[in-house]
Amino acid sequence: MPETLRPEPTRLYRWLVLIFVSLAMFGSYYVYDALSPLADVLKSQLGFSDLNIGFLQAIYSFPNIFTVVIGGFLIDRIGLRKALMIFGVLCFIGPVITAVSGHLPLMATGRLIFGMGAESLNVAVTTALARWFRGKELSFAFGLNLTASRLGTFAALNSPTWARAAYANWRTPFIISVAFASLCLVGSIVYWIMEVWAENHYRLGEVSTDKVVFSDLWKFGVSYWLIVALCIVFYSAVFPFQTFAVKFFMEAHGTSREFGGFLSSMLTLFAMIATPLFGLWVDRVGKRALLMMLGSMLLIPVYLMMAYTHVSLYVPMAMMGVAFSLIPAVMWPSVAYIVDQSKLGTAYGLMTMIQNIGLFDLNLVIGWANNHSHAGADNPAGYRLGMWIFSGLGFLGVAFAFFLRRRETGPHGHGLETITTANSASP
């Protein structure tokens, strides 16, 4: 049957695709966050400093300063399923290497390889969702995908509770992360099978395999770059905090490792529940730039509350959880309305690349700040310098979202404030 006469994929088939690409993301997120609950164990058993721990997390982001855009080009050039499979393999190999030895260079090599695969995997999955859901329940699908992904984070941060015995030795939690990394392979394999079958039976959204010209990067427009700027400051204010969060809660607030892990996982718990709901809501009401501005405002006070007050830690973590649910649910789908679909892989790759510049730098900066201020159980005030840095990033997030809203409500807008499921056309 000619492709133009084929039906679009059924809703059930689209949601099955979502389930399996989300399974791959679940495994990836678990591996990334497996390091945070281990920070004090690495310090006591292997003699790592905060800067060493920050380096282990930062090295994940370093290759993506270069390779994620290549991953985006690869998606646009060879297709989703082939690219997804390559990235899934890298996501499995990296954790295996990290678990082999307690020597920092070898562990860092494993994290680096994992990072090369994981961030490009994120780009591939994001591009896949745009292909299967654009003009339909796109923000809702993104939200559900993020919920499934962050379930991996939630499982990792709470592993001191459900796998308490594993923390007697630094290696065992890393071995557990290898098992979760295998899900990246499983999800990629199933997606390959489902896409091949769908191409023979359905009419799918286009994914370009044409040559992508570097000059295209400068044609994405001001709104795209403002979203990228918001992306870098938002994630730099959240993920580097989580790198040291369990250690911070234990040393500055006297919590147990288990409770510290749960507090950090509150971000994920909120996101798992609220992100798809925010996605469903924004699909119906629009106002994307305004919502990103409001979400950024929530980040400004939370770090100073934890550094200077004795308010219940549930309060700032809940506020951060709302921001961590709202902004990603709005931000990532917004790119699909600004950038031509044939360049979407490249656009997401570039955005993720710049995001990783921030994550690489901020993990090192916060590790340095903690060392410089002698942060620790005997000097909890040493964490304040890092908290001021995080709050400053919140101010920048509000500014970028404000400029985005002003752009989108003017003559050069792309409809971020007005497009809803009621008035957007199906592809």
Ordered domains of the chain (ranges, CATH) = 10-408 (1.20.1250.20)
* The pLDDT value given to residue 209: 36
The percent of residues above 90 in pLDDT, for the chain, comes to 37
d(CA 66, CA 68): 6
Indicate the pLDDT class of residue 218, thresholds 50, 70 and 90.
Answer: low
d(CA 394, CA 328): 15
Indicate the pLDDT class of residue 206, thresholds 50, 70 and 90.
Answer: low
Whole-number average pLDDT of the chain: 84
Indicate the pLDDT class of residue 376, thresholds 50, 70 and 90.
Answer: confident
pLDDT tens-digit map of 78-109: 878 888 999 999 999 999 999 998 899 999 99
228 HSE (CA, 13 A, CB side): 20
Q: Helices 257-285 and 222-253 sit at what angle, rounded to 10 degrees?
A: 160
382 HSE (CA, 13 A, CB side): 20
* The pLDDT value given to residue 85: 93
* pLDDT surpassing 50 at residue 298: yes
What phi-psi label fits residue 311: left (phi over 0), alpha (psi between -120 and 50 degrees) or beta? beta
* The pLDDT value given to residue 4: 57
* pLDDT surpassing 80 at residue 264: yes
The more confident residue out of 30 and 66 is: 30
Average pLDDT of the segment spanning 220-226: 86
Task: Specify the range with the lowest mean pLDDT, choosing from 51-55, 102-106, 158-162, 415-419.
Answer: 415-419
Name the β-bridge partners of 376. Answer: 379
In the numeric block, the tokens 């961590």 are attached to 324
Q: Are 30 and 156 in contact (CB under 8 A)?
A: yes
Average pLDDT of the segment spanning 181-194: 93
Indicate the pLDDT class of residue 337, thresholds 50, 70 and 90.
Answer: confident
* The pLDDT value given to residue 414: 59
* pTM for the predicted model, two decimal places: 0.71
Task: Specify the range with the lowest mean pLDDT, choosing from 5-14, 158-167, 180-189, 193-202.
Answer: 5-14
Average pLDDT of the segment spanning 137-164: 85
Indicate the pLDDT class of residue 268, thresholds 50, 70 and 90.
Answer: confident
* pLDDT surpassing 90 at residue 273: no
Of 220, 233, 260, 232, the closest CA to residue 244 belongs to 260
The more confident residue out of 389 and 60 is: 389
Indicate the pLDDT class of residue 22, thresholds 50, 70 and 90.
Answer: very high
Of 214, 231, 218, 213, the closest CA to residue 354 belongs to 231
Indicate the pLDDT class of residue 348, thresholds 50, 70 and 90.
Answer: confident
Q: What is the 3-state secondary structure (H, E, C) of the chain?
A: CCHHHCCCCCHHHHHHHHHHHHHHHHHHHHHHHCCHHHHHHHHHHHCCCHHHHHHHHHHHHCCHHHHHHHHHHHHHHHCHHHHHHHHHHHHHHHHHHHHHCCCHHHHHHHHHHHHHHHHHHHHHHHHHHHHHHCCCCHHHHHHHHHHHHHHHHHHHHCHHHHCHHHHHCCHHHHHHHHHHHHHHHHHHHHHHHHHHHHHHHCCCCCCCCCCCCHHHHHHCCHHHHHHHHHHHHHHHHHHHHHHHHHHHHHHHHCCCHHHHHHHHHHHHHHHHHHHHHHHHHHHHHCCHHHHHHHHHHHHHHHHHHHHHCCCCCHHHHHHHHHHHHHHHHHHHHHHHHHCCHHHHHHHHHHHHHHHHHHHHHHHHHHHHHHHHCCCECCEHHHHHHHHHHHHHHHHHHHHHHHHHHHHHCCCCCCCCCCCCCCCCCCC
Distance of CA 169 to the CA centre of its chain: 28
* pLDDT surpassing 80 at residue 74: no
* The pLDDT value given to residue 391: 94
Distance of CA 280 to the CA centre of its chain: 19
Average pLDDT of the segment spanning 55-70: 77
Indicate the pLDDT class of residue 1, thresholds 50, 70 and 90.
Answer: very low
In the structure encoding, which two tokens stand for residue 180, read together? 């979760």
Average pLDDT of the segment spanning 316-329: 90
Name the β-bridge partners of 379. Answer: 376
Task: Specify the range with the lowest mean pLDDT, choosing from 19-28, 58-67, 288-297, 328-337.
Answer: 58-67
- Please state, as a whole number, how many other Cβ atoms lie within 10 Å of the Cβ of residue 219: 11
Torsion of CA 405, 232, 15, 179, to 10 degrees: -170
In the structure encoding, which two tokens stand for residue 305, read together? 């509350």
* pLDDT surpassing 60 at residue 213: no
Question: Cα–Cα–Cα angle for 167, 168, 173, nearest 5°?
Answer: 35
The percent of residues above 70 in pLDDT, for the chain, comes to 89
* The pLDDT value given to residue 212: 44
360 by Cβ neighbours in 10 Å (0-12 / 13-18 / 19+) ranks as buried
* pLDDT surpassing 80 at residue 417: no
